[in-house]
């Protein structure tokens, strides 16, 4: 019992001295949302139709301009659902009888991660499936010279009106002492200045 007490005390002192927060155990896993929205960029290929353009962008009103079809509403659909809808519309319009359509989202411009504070390029970074905390900081130009990289604040929405905020040591991640943090669309990362 005394041994356990001293171990806990030693760990507490170690974290207090290093100022490195432990890995955030109370941070829920990111919610994967791949539904499409305005500004998202696709690569759409119709098997056997080489003359059709491949790159498409969702309009501000949530529609997609596709050859031979009027504007098609795609907002809120998953990529596979976009392909199924285009196939249905092409068959209904008697343009193709059984088209095979592949949809690949290149950029989720409608989904972003916000980065504020002590990075060289604060603002928004487009969210992509699998993006992690260090990726976003790199895309934001990296830390400024006065950034507190041991206490990066991540706020994540967990429900409609609820969020959770945790402190993360990016130094611990880059040193290999804890795993990188996968992000979800809508996360906010705040980097404060070190206290001198």
Residue 112 resides in a domain:
no
Q: What is the pLDDT of residue 12?
A: 45
Give me the chain's average pLDDT, please: 88
**pTM of the predicted structure, to 2 decimals:** 0.71
Bridge partners, 125 (sequence order): 113
Give the residue-averaged pLDDT of 30-43.
90
Domain that holds residue 92: 41-107
Query: Tokens in use for 123?
Result: 């603002």
Confidence of residue 23 (pLDDT cuts 50, 70, 90): low
Domain count of the chain?
2
C-alpha dihedral sign at 137, 174, 184, 41: positive
Give the whole-angstrom CA distance, residue 128 versus residue 117.
22
Q: What is the pLDDT of residue 7?
A: 39
Helix (H) or strand (E) holding 115: strand 101-117
Confidence of residue 10 (pLDDT cuts 50, 70, 90): very low
Is the pLDDT at 18 greater than 70? The verdict is no
- Render 130-174 in DSSP notation, one character per residue: T-BHHHHHHHTT-B-TTEEEEEEEEEEEEETTEEEEEEE-HHHHH
Confidence of residue 129 (pLDDT cuts 50, 70, 90): confident
**Listed residue (9, 69, 11, 12) closest to 44, CA to CA:** 69
Same domain? For 84 and 145 the reply is no
Give the whole-angstrom CA distance, residue 134 versus residue 121.
14
| Domain C-terminal end among 67, 83, 107 | 107
Same domain? For 45 and 85 the reply is yes
Give the residue-averaged pLDDT of 42-50.
92
Q: How far is CA 79 from CA 17, 84, 100, 129, 132, in A?
A: 49, 9, 14, 13, 22
What CATH number does the domain containing 137 carry? Answer: 3.10.560.10
pLDDT digits (tens, 9 = 90+) for 61-83: 999 999 999 899 999 999 999 99
């Amino acid at each position: 019992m005394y041994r356990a007490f001293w171990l806990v005390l030693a760990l507490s002192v170690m974290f207090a001295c290093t100022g490195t927060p432990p890995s955030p155990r109370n941070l829920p896993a990111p919610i994967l949302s791949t539904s499409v929205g305005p500004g998202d960029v696709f690569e759409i290929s119709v098997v056997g139709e080489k003359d059709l353009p491949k790159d498409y962008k969702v309009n501000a009103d949530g529609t997609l301009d596709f050859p031979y079809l009027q504007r098609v509403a795609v907002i809120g659909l998953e990529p596979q659902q976009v392909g199924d809808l285009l196939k249905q519309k092409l068959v209904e319009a008697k343009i193709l009888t059984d088209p095979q359509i592949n949809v690949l989202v290149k950029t989720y411009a409608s989904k972003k991660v916000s980065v504020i504070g002590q990075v060289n390029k604060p603002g928004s970074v487009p969210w992509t499936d699998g993006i992690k905390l260090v990726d976003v900081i790199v895309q934001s130009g990296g830390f400024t010279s006065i950034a507190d990289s041991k206490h990066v604040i991540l706020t994540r929405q967990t429900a409609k009106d609820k969020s959770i905020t945790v402190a993360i040591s990016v130094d611990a991640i880059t040193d290999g002492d804890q795993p990188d943090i996968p992000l979800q669309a809508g996360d906010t990362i705040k980097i404060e200045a070190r206290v001198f």
